[in-house]
Structure 1
Amino acid sequence: MKKNRKKLNKIKILTVSSLALLGGASLTAQVKQKSDTIKTSAEQKGDSKVMLNAANNTGPRDVNIGLPASVGGTTVLENGLPVVYFFWPEVPTKTWRGDAMLNKYSLYDLGQTAINIGDVGFSLSSYDNLGTDDFQGKLNLESNHYGLLRGSANVSGPINKKGLKYSAGAYVSMDPGTFNAKGLNTYYSDQAQIYKLALTQDYKFTGGTGSITALYKYANVKGIGQKYSPFIYGKNGEVSEVPGFKIGRKSYYERSGKVTLMDAFSGDLVQRDVLNDYGSQSNTIDVIGKNNFDNGLNLNYIVRYHSAKVGTYIPIMAGISKAAAGEFVYADTGEAYTGSNAQGVLILATKRTPIQSLTGTIELGKKSESSWGTHDWKVGVNEWFYDIDKYATESAMYFQEVAPNPRKLIKAGSGANANGDFNLNGGLEYHNGRENKFAFFALDKWTVSKSLEVNVGARLEYQTLRGDYQDRNLGLQTLTGPKTKIDKDWFNQSYMVNAIYKVNEKFGLLGDLNYIEQAGHLENYNIGVDPKIKKSKIPSAGFGVFYNHPIISVVSKATYITRDEYRSTVNFSNPNNPGEVKRETTKYDIETIGWTTDIISKPFKNFELHFLLTLQDPKYKNFVGQVGFNDGSVAKYDFTDKYVTGISRVLIEIDPSYVWKDLRVWASARYFSKQYANRPNTVYFASRWETFAGLEYKINKHLSLSSTIINLLNQKGAQGDMGDADLLLTAEQAKQKEGTILSGTYIRPFTVEFGLKYNF
């Protein structure tokens, strides 16, 4: 059997795409193939391309599986546990970054994510350096031509000769973004400090060896991540710049940097700083244990206590309307506004909310052999508890001019206060309570023979919600009304099976089946209506082939995935009054089929070319409803069989690289076909390329330098939803938008980054 296993391990395939690329982009280019092993587990080291992100420079890129990415993006784990219990309101980058203390990354596919953590999609798992037997250190410095200041360091070594060792790390980021935001702090885009300290004791016991670690982490993060720009929307989804407004190089943040809100608890009017009053701080303590027994068993565990105060500030572009002469005045001076357009802005702002979680995982596993083959199995238990204390989102609206560094405007009769803010707490949100998950899971990698490998897994999870929310039908601007109780229980099941069959030395088949169930969270009750949560069921299947040759390796796979009982909050703008926005909870299903072909070619020494093609067809199902507005109008909608917004149907990735002595030169180009910007599919953005290039030079074994260019072609990169376009239900209505000014998000403009790494 050992001989057969060695033969099986000689098959070289493209790892992630061969297992579960469910209608989305591959991670293969982000995983270094360092052996000829069939790698079906997550024990692979990821490389930096998982962090190569055109949208921002603080977190990993989202991995497209044909379903919309969550607000939190890619799920991130650290040392085996998610860095946050749930992505809202504490998104992962508020407590985690790719710092120098992380010494290993691995990637979980759809099935592995479902079984290990009960989540949907791909996930990035990171592991800290917990201490070393010899003294060593690492220093990473980053900058760009806009003035980014980012540094990270780690030192580790022994404390005594009895197995006690340490590791300490620090990460500091001061990012001025790509434009000067008048009225805001210079480093408005990102201000982050993260510090870690780990102490590890190795030990021996009768029948084995082990270690126990105490790890402490402190994080302090603030910044405004949402970046918008006005642009002229043209034919065929093309956009052009508004005269005097360069996309990504001019600020569209209102210049006062202040917003006047109504305190959700007291009813008092308060003025808050949009940056300093909405940061987040957290403290995390991990206890990590690893035990290896002489009989081959291993017992690992981690327990984490996480305490945070989390603030969020989100400006949402509600819609641009024509400004009649004398209709608006500037809020700061009272002088008449003579511009042609006014931008409506919806503000959702959450004060620093106390959050606590106690999460833990324990796993028992072993590699064993029998007459039926070899097994690499593990069984485990999750116990995750989460408590959030009176989460409240205060809201307001205001108008601003359509210009760089815009000033606030006041519209006659809008009811705006002296600072220009109105409709206070019209979008009031609140929830309070606790969540708990208890799960049993099991995974087995079964090498049946030299030709067949099968991976199976199951997760059984009991989930509870206990808390309260305030019914919005009470019509209150504060949280002084009676609360409605939340008392929900679910039993969630997830299963996975995937197989790799080797027909001959070069050619083989692969397939997978996954079934995932996922219930709701307290945040589903935010807007004050009972969402009547039902479990989402997410079945998926894939079948493909692979071919391996010293010059070329190919994987081609067809996939199917569907998810029902989707729930999300949508901001609907009144077509008759773009300044009025209604936040509604919507329910729908999504179905997608896809086909992915992934190729790695090495036509000559030191050169490698990766190519990825994905075709997918994600559509909404059972997406029907209506929304009423203050003027009495009611808009009905039916988005069934419309394409999902923000997801391209054609994806291409091309990644060449060449190594010459100590110099590595690489490039990456990603093509995204047109993306619909509204749910009725009447407005869309044209196709685009996201381009990167870089070089890395190793001066000696200790020091290396690098440079990376983001958005090499300097494309405009407008993308995302148009908040005022979901009720443009016909092509005729949408055509009226051509030649008008709209606003939306965009990819980073041309950026040159510099890096230095020093190891000692």
Structure 2
Amino acid sequence: MKLNSITLTMFAILASSIASAQNAKNGKQKNENSAITVADNQAQSMLLNASSDNGPREINIGLPTDLAGTAILENGIQVSYDSQSQSPNRVWRQDGSFSKVRSMNLYKTAIYNGSIGIAMSTESGRGSSKFGGAASFQTNSFGLLRGNFKVSGPLKNNFEYQISAFVNYDPTSMRASFDRFLDQTQIVRGFLNKKYKNGQVGIQYKFANSLGSNSLNQNPYIYHQDGTVTKYNGLAIGTTAYIEKSGMAYPQNIYSGEQLSWDLMKETGSTSHIFDIMGDHKYANGMKLNYTARFHYAQSGFWNPNLGTIFSTESQGANNRYVYRDDLNQVYTGDVQKGQMAVSNKWGKVGVFGRAELSKDTKHHNWLVGLSVNMLDAHDASRSVYGTYMTIEDNPTALVHQKMINGKWVNSSNELGCENPNSAIQYYDGIDSKTAIYLTDRWNMSKRLTLDLGLRAELQHIDGYWAPTSVRGKNDNGANVLKGKEKLKKDWFNKSATANLVYKAFKNGGFTADALYAEIGGNLSSYAQAVDPEIKQSKTTAFSAGVYYNHPVVSVTSKVNYIKRTNYSFAGNFENPNNVTEIQRTTVKYDVQTIGWTTDVDLKPFKGFNLHLLMTLQNPKYSQFDFTMFDQRFNYTDKTVRGVSKVLLEIEPSYQFKKFRIWGSARYFSKQYACFSDALYFAPRWETFAGIDYKYNKNVNLSVNVVNLLNETGAQGSIAGANTITEEAASAYYDKPLAGTFIRPFTVEFKTSIKF
């Protein structure tokens, strides 16, 4: 989403055996049906996101949180080919229009989608044989306005329709001065479906318009040696609007160096037009064909205020000073927030996607063969990056950096507060494509033994342009600009294979084993920087083995898991540890591996009560993580992966009586390292949720939910500017102001839904 993630490490690996365990309650080995049941529950759980309310909860599998997030599929096709070209939550939301919502575990995601992580799979509602509809409205204590509406019914000659609309105006947990709502999204869909004797075929049009940024959940705080944080100068953690108050960006044109002025909300949003043709057909011999074809046209922009180190004006010496952008004669003294703004206005891209799956169920086999084609044509994709400074307060003010030269104060930033404009121009142009054939088979070898197999062969092709250092320079006015572009062609042949074995050793339980090998290449957007990232094929291996036991009162699944991924490329900002005002954006590579033990328990001791427990123990480590920058070597090999806890617990009780259902969720995260070197970390924390659902009748439901029930305030995820902090230098950050991500503050949510 992009989203800061809740890390339920190894859960995706566990999902296949949970599916088997759930299915065993019925004394059957139809694992796919039980997988859907479990997946639906998990999909609902994914919406409990303690990081943000902009998209589905991300599920991590022991890999870095920005690597293994949640892929989102719509009608079998990923909603965004590449999150760098268009963020998924700018084109998709849980908008109430879907007929099916389920999650796909690690193994199914690798085969069906060619990615690593779990996938949230949704299927559009196609219509209904009787007229009906539904509507819902949601708000919260911060002023959220969210609603969706759908209506469906029959037409003549076996045609059916569905029309839906979704609106979201979310202020987040802060009150920015430049706009009341920092996430403004509207989605409208229309589906016309034709049923015939052996199947159906339909067409859907979807319009999505979305404004906002995915990187606004950062605040300043005082960091302490024990990993806790406290308020900085009384600024509340989680509700301080830590965004420069003008709501404007001032980049320079990447070709001419011309100074530009953009309204961040209005000129960097995303507008999409999507057409789907989808259908299914059943042949006389029992084979089934399921297919989707999509055309996706979008104009989408981007803005991301990257925060860096906080420093004092006193530390910069007598030859540096900072003045207010609004008044260049007024000198500012105190702490300064260094940062970078990466921004682009709307630019065009065209996507063409398709998938077709032929399947058949026989006595001992349930096989499927599929073909998928995904192509994105990104035209002159670019982002301008420049340095920024601002005050540290609610709705901070931009500062201009000045230097003393020959006895006079001269702007180092320009008068708009932009320092070193176009310092890191990001650019790519061309076609990115993936074509894959995949096969799956569920082989019922006996009444006790089932083997699931999956294979995927994918050709990944890039044909476009990029802008290396050789075509970058300065124009006659000294501005950083692009002077050309170079041809780029890349090909990867990716192979993936999965296996899942379930042995029903006795009536209510048995054993499971899983294996995965998957390969993934790079995207065209990986070449947006000036230096060749030298993308190599990333290879993932995973193994697990466990036991399960099912009973009407208690169900238990326990597994030991191992996963490793090689050649992960991380593109980000790195600060010079000897000069916090110097920032370099580059790409580094490393491997990640972890071994873990996960146990899932479901208890139903008496009617109406359910208690779900989940525990994960793991030890995710970096390897082959060694690079040089600022004439200094950084070696993070054998360090614990940042942002991932070693101990995870979930306690989720619920009780239903008459028309009421009361539920709660408490999640424990052991300490999380906040930087690559493990020099800084966040203390263990609990994240809590609770709610009451009331079913007035079969058509009307009301609910009240609470996020952060215990009103915990604190940090999680990462610390700005911490990529190069060494263990030796860590003490310099104790009891000092830093900026980083935070858990959602106490929030009360209200929702009502109506069916008719």
User: Could you tell me which residue of structure 1 aligns to residue 396 of structure 2?
Assistant: 406
User: Could you tell me which residue of structure 1 aligns to residue 202 of structure 2?
Assistant: 213
- Deviation of 1:524 after TM superposition, in Å, equals 1.1
Q: What is the identity, as a one-letter code, of the residue corresponding to 1:202? A: K
Pair 1:346 & 2:354 matched: no
d(CA) in 1 for partners of 2:443, 2:16: 25
Correspondence for 2:171 among 159, 176, 180: 176
Pair 1:193 & 2:186 matched: yes
Q: What is the identity, as a one-letter code, of the residue corresponding to 2:192? A: L
User: Could you tell me which residue of structure 2 aligns to residue 737 of structure 1?
Assistant: 733
Q: Does the 8 Å contact 1:315/1:348 carry over to 2?
A: yes
Correspondence for 1:105 among 93, 97, 101: 101
Q: Does the 8 Å contact 2:23/2:30 carry over to 1?
A: no
Cα 1:167/1:34, change in 2 over 3 Å: farther
Q: Does the 8 Å contact 1:542/1:559 carry over to 2?
A: yes
Q: Secondary structure at the match of 1:133?
A: coil
- Deviation of 1:296 after TM superposition, in Å, equals 1.5
Mapping for residues 547-566 of structure 1, pairs under 5 Å: 547-566=549-568
Pair 1:381 & 2:381 matched: no
User: Could you tell me which residue of structure 1 aligns to residue 429 of structure 2?
Assistant: 432
Q: What is the identity, as a one-letter code, of the residue corresponding to 1:235? A: Q
User: Could you tell me which residue of structure 1 aligns to residue 251 of structure 2?
Assistant: 261
User: Could you tell me which residue of structure 2 aligns to residue 6 of structure 1?
Assistant: none
Q: Secondary structure at the match of 1:503?
A: strand
Correspondence for 2:237 among 212, 227, 247: 247
Cα 1:448/1:71, change in 2 over 3 Å: closer
Mapping for residues 533-548 of structure 1, pairs under 5 Å: 533-548=535-550
d(CA) in 2 for partners of 1:585, 1:726: 12
d(CA) in 2 for partners of 1:509, 1:18: 22
User: Could you tell me which residue of structure 2 aligns to residue 331 of structure 1?
Assistant: 325
Mapping for residues 437-456 of structure 1, pairs under 5 Å: 437-456=434-453
Pair 1:84 & 2:80 matched: yes
Cα 1:176/1:33, change in 2 over 3 Å: farther
Q: Does the 8 Å contact 2:65/2:643 carry over to 1?
A: no
Q: TM-score, normalised by structure 2?
A: 0.93
User: Could you tell me which residue of structure 2 aligns to residue 603 of structure 1?
Assistant: 605
Q: Secondary structure at the match of 2:640?
A: coil
Query: Once the two structures are superposed, what CA deviation does each residue of 1:470-506 show, in whole Å capped at 9, x if it has no partner?
Result: 1135445555323222111111100000011011112
- Deviation of 1:361 after TM superposition, in Å, equals 0.5
User: Could you tell me which residue of structure 2 aligns to residue 114 of structure 1?
Assistant: 110
d(CA) in 2 for partners of 1:34, 1:335: 75
User: Could you tell me which residue of structure 2 aligns to residue 668 of structure 1?
Assistant: 665
Higher mean alpha-carbon deviation, 356-365 vs 716-725, is at 716-725
d(CA) in 2 for partners of 1:715, 1:352: 38
Q: What is the identity, as a one-letter code, of the residue corresponding to 1:685? A: F
Correspondence for 1:222 among 196, 205, 211: 211
User: Could you tell me which residue of structure 2 aligns to residue 366 of structure 1?
Assistant: 360
Q: Does the 8 Å contact 1:178/1:749 carry over to 2?
A: yes
Q: What is the identity, as a one-letter code, of the residue corresponding to 1:193? A: Q
Q: Does the 8 Å contact 2:468/2:530 carry over to 1?
A: yes
User: Could you tell me which residue of structure 1 aligns to residue 407 of structure 2?
Assistant: none
User: Could you tell me which residue of structure 2 aligns to residue 702 of structure 1?
Assistant: 699
Q: What is the identity, as a one-letter code, of the residue corresponding to 2:548? A: F
Correspondence for 1:693 among 674, 690, 693: 690
Cα 1:19/1:396, change in 2 over 3 Å: closer
Pair 1:651 & 2:648 matched: yes
d(CA) in 2 for partners of 1:734, 1:581: 19
User: Could you tell me which residue of structure 2 aligns to residue 309 of structure 1?
Assistant: 299
User: Could you tell me which residue of structure 2 aligns to residue 12 of structure 1?
Assistant: none
Correspondence for 2:262 among 257, 272, 280: 272
Q: What is the identity, as a one-letter code, of the residue corresponding to 2:437? A: F
Q: Does the 8 Å contact 2:689/2:709 carry over to 1?
A: yes
Q: Does the 8 Å contact 2:223/2:229 carry over to 1?
A: yes
Pair 1:641 & 2:638 matched: yes
- Deviation of 1:385 after TM superposition, in Å, equals 1.3
d(CA) in 1 for partners of 2:350, 2:129: 34
Q: Secondary structure at the match of 1:736?
A: helix
Q: What is the identity, as a one-letter code, of the residue corresponding to 1:115? A: I
Cα 1:69/1:32, change in 2 over 3 Å: farther
RMSD of aligned Cα (Å)? 2.2
d(CA) in 2 for partners of 1:19, 1:249: 29
Pair 1:678 & 2:675 matched: yes
Q: Secondary structure at the match of 2:40?
A: coil
User: Could you tell me which residue of structure 2 aligns to residue 355 of structure 1?
Assistant: 349
d(CA) in 2 for partners of 1:219, 1:277: 15
Mapping for residues 449-468 of structure 1, pairs under 5 Å: 449-468=446-465
Correspondence for 1:203 among 189, 196, 210: 196
Higher mean alpha-carbon deviation, 721-730 vs 428-437, is at 721-730
Query: Once the two structures are superposed, what CA deviation does each residue of 1:95-144 show, in whole Å capped at 9, x if it has no partner?
Result: 11001211211111111001111111111001111111111101011000
Instruction: Give ranges in structure 2 of 5+ residues lacking alignment.
Output: 1-6, 404-410
Query: Once the two structures are superposed, what CA deviation does each residue of 1:405-452 show, in whole Å capped at 9, x if it has no partner?
Result: 111112222521112111101111111110121111101111111111
User: Could you tell me which residue of structure 1 aligns to residue 488 of structure 2?
Assistant: 486
User: Could you tell me which residue of structure 1 aligns to residue 590 of structure 2?
Assistant: 588
User: Could you tell me which residue of structure 2 aligns to residue 508 of structure 1?
Assistant: 510
Pair 1:158 & 2:151 matched: no
d(CA) in 1 for partners of 2:641, 2:744: 23
User: Could you tell me which residue of structure 1 aligns to residue 276 of structure 2?
Assistant: 286
User: Could you tell me which residue of structure 2 aligns to residue 723 of structure 1?
Assistant: 720
Pair 1:518 & 2:515 matched: no
Q: What is the identity, as a one-letter code, of the residue corresponding to 1:249? A: T
- Deviation of 1:570 after TM superposition, in Å, equals 2.4
Q: What is the identity, as a one-letter code, of the residue corresponding to 2:252? A: M
Correspondence for 2:48 among 40, 49, 52: 52
Q: What is the identity, as a one-letter code, of the residue corresponding to 1:653? A: E
d(CA) in 2 for partners of 1:236, 1:686: 7
- Deviation of 1:722 after TM superposition, in Å, equals 2.1
Q: Does the 8 Å contact 2:473/2:481 carry over to 1?
A: no
Q: What is the identity, as a one-letter code, of the residue corresponding to 1:313? A: W
d(CA) in 2 for partners of 1:25, 1:346: 40
Q: Secondary structure at the match of 1:247?
A: coil
Q: Secondary structure at the match of 1:276?
A: helix
Mapping for residues 415-430 of structure 1, pairs under 5 Å: 415-430=412-427
- Deviation of 1:679 after TM superposition, in Å, equals 0.5
Q: Does the 8 Å contact 1:191/1:222 carry over to 2?
A: yes
- Deviation of 1:18 after TM superposition, in Å, equals 14
- Deviation of 1:618 after TM superposition, in Å, equals 0.9
- Deviation of 1:697 after TM superposition, in Å, equals 0.3
Q: What is the identity, as a one-letter code, of the residue corresponding to 2:202? A: T
Q: What is the identity, as a one-letter code, of the residue corresponding to 2:86? A: E
Cα 1:257/1:278, change in 2 over 3 Å: same
d(CA) in 1 for partners of 2:720, 2:421: 19
Q: Secondary structure at the match of 1:567?
A: strand
Q: TM-score, normalised by structure 1?
A: 0.92
**Percentage of matched positions with identical amino acids:** 38
Q: Secondary structure at the match of 1:744?
A: strand
- Deviation of 1:58 after TM superposition, in Å, equals 2.3
Instruction: Give ranges in structure 1 of 5+ residues lacking alignment.
Output: 1-16, 629-633
- Deviation of 1:27 after TM superposition, in Å, equals 12
- Deviation of 1:534 after TM superposition, in Å, equals 1.3
User: Could you tell me which residue of structure 2 aligns to residue 13 of structure 1?
Assistant: none
Query: Once the two structures are superposed, what CA deviation does each residue of 1:495-526 show, in whole Å capped at 9, x if it has no partner?
Result: 00001101111221001000000000011111
